[in-house]
Structure 1
Amino acid sequence: MEIMLHNLTVTRSRFSSALYFKKCSQINFTKFYSKTVRLHPKFCSRQKLKPTLGLQHGLRIDFVKIPIRWNSGGSGNTESRRQKLLLATYVSFGIGGILILAITGREINKARLRFHGIVEVDDSAWKRVKLYKYKDVSIPGHVVKILDNIENFQVREDDIWVVSYPRSGTTWTQEIVYLIKSGLNFEAANSQIIDDRFPFLEFMYPGIQNVGSMSSPRLIKTHLPLGLLPKEIHEKKPKIIYVCRNPKDIVVSYYYFTRMMKPVTRFKGSFDDFFRLFMQDKVPYSPWWKHVLEFWQKKDEENVLFLKYEDLKKDLEGSIRQIADFLDKPLSNLDVKKIAYHCQFENMKKNDSTNFSWGTKLGILDLTESQFMRKGEVGDWRSHFNQDNNEQINKMISFRFHNSGLRFDYDIKDPVLDSSPSDVRTVV
């Protein structure tokens, strides 16, 4: 038999010969008596309830022998609550265990990376991208995972590589090289995305294994600096076209690119925030100066062509001829004009095979922030830099390049290209 106590506060033990109540209520006898016995008023207001209480109603109740339990609202279930409490305890321990394992695994991974000379770059500005320092170069996490594959990548002598620091005119140069090597295949250039025609070595798509299995001659793009390129590149000596750009326009273009990649980077900082990261070598593939200087020192090697973005802007047709001669693919004047027309900034910006519009379908680009091909100008930095920005970057350039002989153009007027006669437009 059990007694259900409604709205009562018991101040003594579960088996007690004397019970205390804070307020007057009623006692329900269940599973034994169906009747309800009300307390006499004289037992209300914290009065002591004697074991002989039941005798007043013709009932004898031995409170010492009767187990008492709470019945909140008449529907409590101690066993159910106990099971829920146990379940919550087990879940808490389980979550705690998973967190401990995750933290331990992360620390073990950090230790493993440090053993190989790889250290995580810690900066709260990057919400999602993981940056690591390896051989004094900041590289993103997806590159760290394939460093061994990159180092041991099998290079071929007939490969053609386009190498650059990000936002230096890479896609522009790639398209020119593709058209020269493909015999001006404009149909493919307009219908197949450039990452399929001219894949990005260290990017997730199409993947380094797929790049390695391509038929020759392979066209390969990379942002890796010279010191992180495959070992065989120094032995096989494939043709390498390196394109550089003045750092002031790079930092502006890179800032908007990072904002556009917000679904991937989660970067929401200001231009000044990004400028700080750039100057501290905390953006992917930095330091910029080392990236450029290493290839500038290789510019006289037979298999290296060093180009400047600003020279492409000043004389696109002359730059196309220079690239064609380097690739041993001389072009007629008409062919040069066709390529120049196809590769004009506005035409490439409208071309879905070069403007990376497919990135929006994959959810990796936010075009409300910027376009992949934004302006393509020389001198846009003037609308973003303050005096402090300018002084900082000038000091860096003066210190790093003062004895190199390399000079940068920070302002030019876009030339009017003579590449729009009717025969060029019709063919292209």
Structure 2
Amino acid sequence: MAEKELPMLLRDDNLSEETKKLISSLPTDKDAQGKLCKYQGCWYYYNTLQAVINFQENFQPQDTDIILASFPKAGTTWLKALSVALLERSKHDHDDPLNHPLLSDNPHGIVPFLEFDMYLKGSTPDQTKFPLSSPRLFSTHMPLHTIKENLKDSPCKIVYLCRNAKDALISRWFYRCKYQNKDAARSILESMFESFCSGVGFYGPIWDHALSYWKGSLENPKNVLFMRYEELKTEPSAQLKRLAEFLGCPFTEEEEENGLVEKILELCSLDNLSGLEVNKTGKTWTNVDYKSYFRKGEVGDWKNYLTPEMETKIDMIIDEKLKGSGLTF
């Protein structure tokens, strides 16, 4: 694929001279998609690193900001949808939600990624094009230690959604193949598996990523909430109420009696969102089809694709990397 045809995230044509100099001093590698460098313990494509630096140098938090964090393909779309529905519920009648933002835009169009939507093009993003203004709602795939310096004096909230590493890998495989208009070839999965296990991959290693937020939630539980994708699937009502409480917008007794918890879960369900016209035909500004963000959303789907040997290898690595932390996934 020629350089000019590469997605903007994978290119290296948006770098400042300072970032080029920085990259020359960093560990570098590459995967099947492009060149990677390791910055503050996390692997980025070069243009994404520039966006991370733009964020670190320029982002000014507001006290009411909410940042939704996750490793790629860990339930990001669902977390965005649920958070939007919670914060917007006072403005919309869930019995007749015709004007609800989730019906006319994808969650990724409503909740901008800090490093992709806000700071990929430059250091001064136009925040007026994003619909939610107070509280401002952002998302990121950056680890906590990369964003917390900007937030150290701010009471803003951070929500992290953690997903089983094997399911995240399989979801990422299908997403990448769909994004590149390729069949989900076994050879691509095997290549991604090796990168995944080595930790050398976009936003990897996954264990360090999760640990950064796990430790943050233990040290600062008022400002960092650690959630699990699997618990959202098995006990959605309890986890949605937990999220609402953390965000400062708990459900009232009347809302619960009127079934609002269930209505929000239905509005944000994969079946409902994937069936909306905007999510069948829309695209992000980086030309990713919105439909690419919806597949199965199942827990344990990895069992259909990973060999027992692959399962054992990932489990052994994860167990070793998380040993003594209290975190399991």
Q: What displacement does 1:251 show?
A: 0.7
The answer to whether structure 1 residue 139 and structure 2 residue 44 are counterparts is yes
Provide the residue aligned with 1:197 in structure 2. Answer: 110
* Distance change >3 Å, CA 282–CA 261, structure 1 → 2: farther
Q: What displacement does 1:231 show?
A: 2.2
Provide the residue aligned with 2:63 in structure 1. Answer: 157
Q: What displacement does 1:268 show?
A: 9.4
* Distance change >3 Å, CA 362–CA 164, structure 1 → 2: closer
Matched residue SS, 2:315: helix
Matched residue SS, 2:138: strand
Structure 2: how far apart are the matches of 1:109 and 1:295? 29
TM-score, normalisation: structure 1? 0.62
Any residues of structure 2 matched to 1:72-87 within 5 Å, and which?
Answer: none
Opposite residue 68 of structure 2, the aligned amino acid is: V
**Cα distance per residue 1:106-146 (max 9 Å; x no partner):** 9x99961345x4343234x22xx332211221112221223
* Distance change >3 Å, CA 289–CA 211, structure 1 → 2: farther
TM-score, normalisation: structure 2? 0.80
Structure possessing the higher radius of gyration over alpha carbons: 1
Provide the residue aligned with 1:338 in structure 2. Answer: 263
The answer to whether structure 1 residue 113 and structure 2 residue 26 are counterparts is no
Matched residue SS, 2:313: helix
The answer to whether structure 1 residue 253 and structure 2 residue 171 are counterparts is yes
**Cα distance per residue 1:132-166 (max 9 Å; x no partner):** 21122111222122333211211111001100101
Opposite residue 307 of structure 2, the aligned amino acid is: N
Structure 2: how far apart are the matches of 1:131 and 1:357? 31
Q: 1:398 aligns with which of 288, 311, 319?
A: 319
Structure 2: how far apart are the matches of 1:162 and 1:306? 10
Q: What displacement does 1:270 show?
A: 2.2
Any residues of structure 2 matched to 1:339-354 within 5 Å, and which?
Answer: 339-353=264-278
Q: What displacement does 1:232 show?
A: 2.2
Q: Which has the higher contact order (CA 8 A, sep 6+)?
A: 2
Q: CA RMSD in A?
A: 2.9
Structure 1: how far apart are the matches of 2:71 and 2:298? 17
Opposite residue 387 of structure 1, the aligned amino acid is: P
Any residues of structure 2 matched to 1:203-214 within 5 Å, and which?
Answer: 203-204=116-117, 209-210=124-125
The structure with more helix, counted as a fraction of residues: 2
The answer to whether structure 1 residue 359 and structure 2 residue 283 are counterparts is yes
Asked if the contact 2:274/2:280 (under 8 Å) is kept, the reply is no
Give the ranges of 4+ consecutive aligned residues of structure 1 lying more than 6 Å apart after TM superposition.
108-111
Q: What displacement does 1:234 show?
A: 2.0
* Distance change >3 Å, CA 346–CA 145, structure 1 → 2: same
Structure 2: how far apart are the matches of 1:287 and 1:268? 22
Provide the residue aligned with 2:76 in structure 1. Answer: 170
Opposite residue 254 of structure 1, the aligned amino acid is: R
Provide the residue aligned with 2:161 in structure 1. Answer: 243
Q: What displacement does 1:279 show?
A: 1.1
Q: What displacement does 1:281 show?
A: 2.0
% of aligned pairs identical?
28
The answer to whether structure 1 residue 283 and structure 2 residue 189 are counterparts is no
Structure 1: how far apart are the matches of 2:196 and 2:280? 24
Asked if the contact 1:263/1:365 (under 8 Å) is kept, the reply is no
User: Any gaps of 5 or more consecutive residues in structure 1?
Assistant: 1-105, 409-428
Provide the residue aligned with 1:373 in structure 2. Answer: 294
Structure 2: how far apart are the matches of 1:228 and 1:390? 30
Structure 1: how far apart are the matches of 2:240 and 2:320? 33
Q: 2:232 aligns with which of 308, 312, 317?
A: 312
The total of aligned residue pairs comes to: 292
User: Any gaps of 5 or more consecutive residues in structure 2?
Assistant: 1-14
Q: What displacement does 1:308 show?
A: 0.1
Comparing 228-237 and 250-259, the one that deviates more:
228-237
Any residues of structure 2 matched to 1:53-72 within 5 Å, and which?
Answer: none
